[in-house]
Amino acid sequence: MISLKSPREIEIIRRAAEILKQVFRDVKPAVVPGTTTEELDAIAEKTIRKAGGEPAFKGYRGFPKTACISVNEEVVHGIPGKRKLREGDVVSFDIGARVDGYYADSARTWPAGKVSADVARLIAAAKDSLLAGLDAYKPGARLGDLGEKIQKCIESQGFQVVRDYVGHGIGRSIHEEPAVPNYGKAGQGLRIQPGLVLAIEPMVTQGHYAVETLEDGWTVVTRDKKLASHYEDTIAFLETGFINLTGDE
Ligand code: MG
Ligand code: MG
């Protein structure tokens, strides 16, 4: 079932989104060689709780930590731990927060130290594709209109888009209907109605888009072990346009 949110509900989701923006401001400077992924996780949890929110992922289906931190060939759902970041690592940081029963969900990918121009392009492609998809939105648009733009933006740069994981509706649950693919065809898919709040989250691969899950039951990696990047925002669609609740200022 697809639930449309009232302005009051969107306002609560915005508060959760503001917490995630603060998390990014606090975590990003620590994404440097030598930091462990569990140190990044601890910063995130502290920021969320200090702001009066709760981590959305901790305990979700047994996930043990606050953030999903996925390094290099890890695409999503990496578990923070003792791994120390190294110069040139590609660090994707995915975080959710709950406030007064409503969720926001957002992800960023940052380099630890210096990366090559090609890797910087891979990182930028995830964000750029999301913005390209949003640019296709007008009242009456369908999910396929956005998906096609996201996919084209990624593939036109020689990268691929992950198929096995997609974006989602969000609100009273972290994952709601509908599924929001980062690929598709214009004119197809659900019509985006005012009040729909979606977490749109392109996952971009340097090589083939095929992924598999490691034995820890969580960490999703590219099968060819090439790098991946991920970018996610929580977006409220309105009569006249949209608000990117977790968007960069
Ligand atoms: Mg997320
Ligand atoms: Mg999500």
Number of domains the chain is built from: 1
CB 131 within 8 A of CB 123: no
CA of 199 to the centre of ligand 2 (A): 5
Residue 248 has a pLDDT of 86
Domain that holds residue 71: 7-244
Condensed to tens digits (0 to 9), the pLDDT of residues 124-181 reads 999 999 999 999 999 999 999 999 999 999 999 999 999 999 999 999 999 999 999 9
- Residue 1 domain-assigned (yes or no): no
- Residue 23 domain-assigned (yes or no): yes
What predicted TM-score, i.e. pTM, was given to this entire model?
0.98
Beta bridge partners of 198: 169, 235
- Residue 142 domain-assigned (yes or no): yes
- Residue 2 domain-assigned (yes or no): no
CA of 67 to the centre of ligand 1 (A): 9
Residue 231 sits in a domain of what CATH number?
Answer: 3.90.230.10
Condensed to tens digits (0 to 9), the pLDDT of residues 172-211 reads 999 999 999 999 999 999 999 999 999 999 999 999 999 9
On average, the pLDDT of the chain sits at: 97
CA of 162 to the centre of ligand 1 (A): 15
Condensed to tens digits (0 to 9), the pLDDT of residues 26-79 reads 999 999 999 999 999 999 999 999 999 999 999 999 999 999 999 999 999 999
Residue 17 has a pLDDT of 98
The neighbourhood of ligand 1, an ion, using CB within 5 A, equals 94, 105, 107, 232
- Residue 229 domain-assigned (yes or no): yes
Per-residue CA distances from 105 to 23, 190, 214 (Å): 12, 21, 23
Report the Cα–Cα distance between both ends of the chain, in Å, rounded: 32
> Sign of torsion, CA 138 142 143 149?
negative
CB 143 within 8 A of CB 184: yes
Beta bridge partners of 90: 111
Residue 240 has a pLDDT of 87
- Residue 249 domain-assigned (yes or no): no
- Residue 81 domain-assigned (yes or no): yes
Cβ-Cβ contacts under 8 Å for 122 (sequence gap 6 or more): 90, 159, 204, 206, 227, 228, 229
CA of 121 to the centre of ligand 2 (A): 22
